[in-house]
Amino acid sequence: MLGQMMDDALTITSIMKFAMKVFPDTEIVSVTGDNPRHRSTFGKAFTRVHQLANALSKLGCAPGDRIATLAWNDYRHFELYYGISCSGYVCHTINPRLFPEQVSYIVNHAEDQWIFVDPAFLPMLEQLQAELKTVRGFVVLTSKAAMPETSLNNVRCYEELIEAEADSFTWPELDENSASSLCYTSGTTGNPKGVLYSHRSTVLHCLGTNTKDTLALAPDETIMPVVPMFHVNAWGSVYGAAMAGTKLVFPGPKMGDGETLATLINEEGVTFALGVPTVWLALVNYLQESGSKVESLQRLVVGGAACPRSLMEAMDAYNVDMHVGWGMTEMSPLGTYNTLLPWMHDLPEDEKFAYRLKAGRLIYGVEMRIVDEEVNELAWDGKVSGRLQVRGPWICKSYYKLEDSDAHLPDGWFDTGDVATIDQYGFMQITDRTKDVIKSGGEWISSIDVENAAMGHEDVAEAAVIGVPHPKWTERPLLVVVKRPGSEPQKADLLGYLDGKIAKWWIPEDCVFVEEIPHTATGKVSKKDLRELFADYSY
Ligand code: ADP
């Protein structure tokens, strides 16, 4: 027997319509390249979203088209999120920190039709233009007055594009399972892979991550997503804020700058902010050096990498509660969130820290398990570790255009590539990774690409790259090399050789020479053994 309730579609359009009615005056404050403090509201932004929808339709966009953004966090990017998805197109957020070749791969793979771009990223697109096969034109995210010179073909100015348009639009009735946005992850080996979110998964993730024990967004909060909008939809916060009537503060291009963050927090009354450890380190360093305070700030979510205890302690000294979150691009992203159970607050200091530093407690909506190599489920005893697998309505089923490859889905579970313990209360702790990548400042570095580049040097017999701890970037790559017999390569030559072959920030700071690199029985480099060999190495 079926239930007899209405089955209205769960769409991003419904979030927009709700916020327009209930929270039209809630503010959106942004730093942009052309304005140090732009002020808008949900009402104004969504009115412009209607104009944008008319403009997109005139640009010839068809249902399901991928429309790309290459932009920092600000109100125009916010408008694109809603304008593109609610019109029935797919908002493809591109990470501008990727190596240009990866950007052109992603644009071509997604078959993007238009790219909405911040002026700062024009040089990259100018360099790539000839390779971008499907792109019909570019829209620069700025005003007519600030429009820069560019050699790109078919270029429009965002403000000019939308200003002439009507502020009413008939939104299509979308199937809740239709695609809403697309984000490529390079956190796997091989080419970046596209994660295609749906309206339904986005709305469910918003609902599932806005309980009192998780993001707890509400009209009395002001949030600042320092996590980029090209990283899993700013961890969903941009939709959650509209659903909950929460004031949004966008830091624009200055998101790594402690002074800008502190100023925005103090002047806009930010209560809650989201970002990777590296940005909170920049904030703490600035506060300690300048003697400034951040009195409105009550809590932070730190994710994307493990949180060092020293950082959490430093934030405690400013009365800012740090909550660790864990997730992935493939998980929309949230899977666990760290809030202590009531009795844990009374634990001795060290035991309490041990809990607070874990990757967090499983949230409703995600199922999680740890398994051994034979996929036997392991106990939740907080001791035994295994491959971490997840499933649920906001977890990726297959990658975009790789629908047939279910390598990540043994019997319907998504293998995260993380290795973890889970305890009896559902607190998860990451202990290792099976994926051969390094995470530096919240961004992935492919060990394999760095190794292949290094192997091209004539004096290198074998090269391997591992991640080692770094105080600012959490992890940085270390190049381990076996010299070709009879040659005497120098560190500086080898590292200099990588320049131009991989992204600058992927180049390891150091290179060590060894007689032999450990291998597994099947002849592959044993990263596990190599990491153990260099367990005491740190930058
Ligand atoms: P995100 O943008 O959320 O960082 P990615 O897909 O780029 O998403 O990265 C996901 C990976 O980052 C995880 O599989 C894990 O290896 C790492 N990660 C995320 N959160 C944490 C955390 N709290 N502690 C340790 N590692 C983490």
Establish if 267 belongs to a structural domain: no
Residues of the domain holding 482: 438-533
| DSSP notation for 182-238 | EEEE-SSSSS-EEEEEEHHHHHHHHHHT-STTTT---TT-EEEE-S-TTSHHHHTHH
**Ligand 1: which atom is nearest the Cα of residue 329?**
6
Please report, for the domain that includes residue 516, its CATH number: 3.30.300.30
Q: How many domains does the chain have?
A: 2
Establish if 387 belongs to a structural domain: no
302: Cβ–Cβ under 8 A, 6 or more apart, which residues?
Answer: 275, 276, 277, 280, 311, 322, 323, 324, 325
Please identify, among 198, 229, 259, the residue that sits at the C-terminal boundary of a domain: 198
Q: Is the CB of 286 under 6 A from ligand 1?
A: no
State pLDDT tens for residues 321-363: 999 999 999 999 999 999 999 999 999 999 999 999 999 999 9
Establish if 63 belongs to a structural domain: yes
Establish if 215 belongs to a structural domain: no
Please report, for the domain that includes residue 167, its CATH number: 3.40.50.12780
Q: Position 446: which residue type? A: S
State pLDDT tens for residues 73-121: 999 999 999 999 999 999 999 999 988 989 999 999 999 999 999 999 9
Residue 301 has pLDDT above 90, yes or no: yes
**DSSP character at residue 306:** P
Please identify, among 198, 219, 242, the residue that sits at the C-terminal boundary of a domain: 198
Establish if 477 belongs to a structural domain: yes
What is the rounded average pLDDT of the residues 196-211?
98
pLDDT of residue 71: 98
> To test ligand 1's pocket by mutation, which of 326, 332, 395, 474 has the most ligand atoms within 8 angstroms of CB?
326
Please identify, among 180, 198, 216, the residue that sits at the C-terminal boundary of a domain: 198
Q: Is the CB of 305 under 6 A from ligand 1?
A: yes
- Sheet-wide strand order for 155-157: 155-157, 137-140, 114-117, 66-70, 90-93, 179-185, 193-198
Residue 408 has pLDDT above 90, yes or no: no
Residue 407 has pLDDT above 60, yes or no: no
Q: Is the CB of 355 under 6 A from ligand 1?
A: no
State pLDDT tens for residues 244-267: 999 999 999 988 899 999 999 999
State pLDDT tens for residues 17-33: 999 999 999 999 999 98
> CA-CA distance, 85 to 316, in Å (whole number)?
39
Which residues are part of the catalytic machinery?
185, 330, 439, 444
Establish if 297 belongs to a structural domain: no
Q: Is the CB of 327 under 6 A from ligand 1?
A: yes
